[in-house]
Amino acid sequence: MANPTLFASSLLLGLLHILLLLFSPSCPRALATSFTLSVFSSIWNHGVTLELAKWGDRCTIALCAALNYYYLLALLPRKKAIVPALLQTLAICSFFCAKALVAVRGSSERQPKARAQQRSALLLLHSDAPHVAAHVLQTIAHALMLLAVADGGSCVGSALLCAT
């Protein structure tokens, strides 16, 4: 298994995503598809050690994040979109923070062996925390988006993205 912590996070929060979608019949199909693809790509990526899974997940998340921002900023009323958009932005920043810590860990592994192992283990723990935070923040953002839709968030604009 690639990373047990991130795999468990993906499974748990993925299950929460699926439950939220099951109880959100008014969710537009495009968003439901985006959420579902994100969940499965994340579980796949964190469950295996394939480059294809890693890059597939990153591409899926990038496309779905763009769709989320479009939905939040163009189709939902501003009042209902601000908090989920901020949470999504924090999730993305948290992800990049995790990647920066992974890069630092990689550079620390070029130090003497004993010190490198100690630093590497510490940085792995610290790089998992912001990545798990990204999963949590994105799940909360998606829950708030679903609440906005259920609360009668008018979906003006694209008929394709607003169709339920």
Quote the pLDDT of residue 152: 65
- Write the CB contacts of 75 (distance below 8 Å, at least 6 apart in sequence): 155, 156, 157, 158, 161, 162
Domain coverage including residue 92 = 4-153
Q: Which residue in 145, 159, 164 sits closest to 77, CA to CA?
A: 145
Specify if 158 maps to a domain.
no
Residue range 105-117: mean pLDDT, rounded = 55
Specify if 85 maps to a domain.
yes
What rounded mean pLDDT belongs to the chain? Answer: 80
Residue 155 has pLDDT above 80, yes or no: no
- The CA-atom distances, in angstroms, between 9 and each of 52, 75, 84 are 20, 30, 20
The Cβ of residue 131 has, within 10 Å, a number of other Cβ atoms equal to: 22
- Write the CB contacts of 32 (distance below 8 Å, at least 6 apart in sequence): 21, 24
- Count up the domains in the chain and report the number: 1
Per-residue pLDDT band for 39 (boundaries 50, 70, 90) equals: very high
